[in-house]
Amino acid sequence: MRALIQRVAQAEVTVDGTLIGQTGPGLLILVCAMQGDGEAEADALAAKIAKLRIFRDEAGKMNRSLVDTGGGALVVSQFTLAADTSRGNRPGFSAAAPPEDGERLYLHFAQSLAALGPAVETGQFGAEMAVSLVNDGPVTIWLET
């Protein structure tokens, strides 16, 4: 699985103008299931993100995790993270998991992360979503299992 995480002061996702998910201080997590991924990859990614020490401690150093801070997470499906731009100018997305697997693993990832403690809200798989955020730092990190 692939994820792009952004430390945020706040983030929200809307579909057709309706707010469907949001978080205050914490993470916006864009996630994509890849061909061959399973629940083990989703669980490993969730565990890594929950423990990743990218939040400031009392000294201002990135030394605290999402779990340590009690922050929340907004998880949004993002199949374009599978983009292959090695040939030409039009990205290919064949490395992404098929939609039925992608949705299952996206939801499994969100549930796995929530089981580790953070409050988790999600976008809507396959929908045209508008995502807005206030990046904190900015801190943006690419992860792959």
Residue ranges for the chain with pLDDT beneath 50: none
Instruction: State residue 61's pLDDT score.
Output: 97
Instruction: State residue 104's pLDDT score.
Output: 98
CA–CA dist 137, 6 (Å, integer)? 9
Instruction: State residue 83's pLDDT score.
Output: 97
Instruction: State residue 89's pLDDT score.
Output: 94
Instruction: State residue 25's pLDDT score.
Output: 98
Q: What is the DSSP string of 66-102?
A: HHHHT-EEEEEE-GGGG-B-SSSSS-B-TTBPPHHHH
DSSP assignment letter at 119:
-
- Give the CA-trace dihedral at 92, 142, 127, 99, to 10 degrees: 60
Instruction: State residue 139's pLDDT score.
Output: 97
Instruction: State residue 59's pLDDT score.
Output: 97
Instruction: State residue 135's pLDDT score.
Output: 97
Active site residues: 78-80
Domains and CATH numbers, the chain: 2-144 (3.50.80.10)
Instruction: State residue 13's pLDDT score.
Output: 98
Please list, in sequence order, all residues whose beta carbon lies within 8 angstroms of the beta carbon of residue 78, skipping any fewer than 6 positions away.
4, 30, 31, 32
Residue 15 in 3-state DSSP? strand
CA–CA dist 45, 103 (Å, integer)? 16
